[in-house]
A and B are shown apart, each in its own frame.
Chain A
Amino acid sequence: MSALLEIAGVETFYGNIQALRGVDVSVEKGEIVTLIGANGAGKSTLLMTLCGSPQARSGQITFDGVDITRKPTFEIIRMGIAQSPEGRRIFARMTVMENLMMGGTTADPAHFDADLEKVFTLFPRLKERQGQRGGTLSGGEQQMLAIGRALMSRPRLLLLDEPSLGLAPLVVKQIFEAIKQINQEEGMSILLVEQNAFHALRLADRGYVLVNGAITLAGTGRELLARPEVRAAYLEGGH
Chain B
Amino acid sequence: MATHVRTAEGSLDLPAILKDCLMTGLVVFALAAPIIGLRTIDTPGGLGIDYRFDDVAFAVLAGIVGRFLLNLYWAYGGRRRPKAKTEEIAGGRAGAFMKKVGLYGGPAAILFAIAMPMLPFADRYTLDVAILVLTYIMLGWGLNIVVGLAGLLDLGYVAFYAVGAYSYALIAAHFDWSFWVCLPLAGLFAAFFGVILGFPVLRLRGDYLAIVTLGFGEIIRVVLLNWYEFTGGPDGVSGVPRPSLFGLEFARSSSDGPTFHQFFGLEFSSLHRIVFLYYVILALALITNFVTLRLRKLPIGRAWEALREDEIACRSLGINPTNTKLTAFAIGAMFGGFAGSFFATRQGFISPESFTFIESAVILAIVVLGGMGSQIGVVIAAIFLIGGTEVFRDLEQYRMLAFGGAMVLIMIWKPRGLLAHREPTLRLPPSRKPEAAPLAGGAS
Contact = CB atoms under 8 A, between A and B. Distances in A.
Interface string B305-323: 1100110111111111000
Contacts of B35: none
Given A51-B316, A106-B318, A116-B430, A91 B424 contact: no
Given A93-B89, A95-B439, A131-B439, A102 B306 contact: yes
B242 interface: no
A127 B90 CA distance: 18
B427 interface: yes
A185 to B, nearest CB: 19
Contact of A74 (B302, B310, B315, B439): B315
A117 B89 CA distance: 27
A106 B306 CA distance: 14
Given A105-B299, A136-B89, A94 B316 contact: no
A105 B310 contact: no
B77 interface: no
Contacts of B424: 94-95, 97-98, 131, 133
Contacts of B404: none
A85 B317 CA distance: 10
Interface string A57-82: 00000000000000011100110001
Interface in B284-302: 299, 302
Contacts of B91: 132-133
A101 B302 contact: yes
A209 to B, nearest CB: 25
B120 interface: no
Contact of A78 (B303, B318, B439): B318
A210 B401 CA distance: 62
A77 B89 contact: no
Interface residues on A, range: 35 or more
Given A113-B430, A133-B91, A93 B318 contact: no
Contacts of A132: 91
B438 interface: yes
Nearest to A93: B422
Nearest to B437: A131
B54 to A, nearest CB: 52
A45 interface: no
B11 interface: no
Contacts of B358: none
B90 A91 contact: no
A183 interface: no
A149 B317 contact: yes
Nearest to B321: A74
Given A98-B424, A101-B427, A93 B309 contact: yes
B429 interface: yes
Q: Which of A53, A74, A116 has the most CB of B within 10 A?
A: A74
Nearest to A149: B317
A97 B429 contact: yes
A49 interface: no
Contact of A102 (B89, B302, B430, B438): B302
A26 interface: no
Contacts of B309: 91-94
A98 B299 CA distance: 10
A37 interface: no
Contacts of B430: 113, 116-117
Interface in B74-112: 89-91
A189 interface: no
A143 to B, nearest CB: 14
B431 interface: yes
B427 A53 contact: no
Contacts of B317: 77, 82, 102-103, 105-106, 149, 153
Q: Which of B89, B319, B422, B429 has the most CB of A within 10 A?
A: B429
Contacts of A116: 429-430
B356 interface: no
A105 B316 CA distance: 11
A231 interface: no
Contacts of A131: 424, 438-439
A106 B424 CA distance: 21
A153 B319 CA distance: 11
A103 to B, nearest CB: 6
Contact of A105 (B89, B318, B438): B318
Interface in A85-141: 85, 89-95, 97-98, 101-103, 105-106, 113, 116-117, 127, 130-133, 135-136
A116 B91 CA distance: 23
Contacts of B310: 89-92
Contacts of A101: 299, 302, 427
Contacts of A153: 317-318
A21 B422 CA distance: 45
Interface in B394-437: 422, 424-425, 427, 429-431, 436
A195 interface: no
Nearest to B305: A94
Nearest to A47: B316
A7 B341 CA distance: 56
Contacts of A98: 302, 305, 424-425
A22 to B, nearest CB: 25
A133 B429 contact: no
A103 B314 CA distance: 9
B429 A105 contact: no
Contacts of B427: 97, 101
A220 B309 CA distance: 39
7 contacts: A89-B312, A91-B310, A92-B89, A105-B319, A113-B431, A130-B429, A133-B90
Top 8 nearest A-B pairs (CB, nearest first) are: A77-B318, A89-B313, A106-B318, A91-B309, A131-B439, A135-B89, A113-B430, A74-B320
Interface of B: 89-91, 299, 302-303, 305-306, 309-310, 312-320, 422, 424-425, 427, 429-431, 436, 438-439
Given A93-B89, A105-B319, 8 more contacts: A89-B316, A90-B310, A93-B422, A105-B318, A106-B318, A130-B429, A131-B438, A136-B90
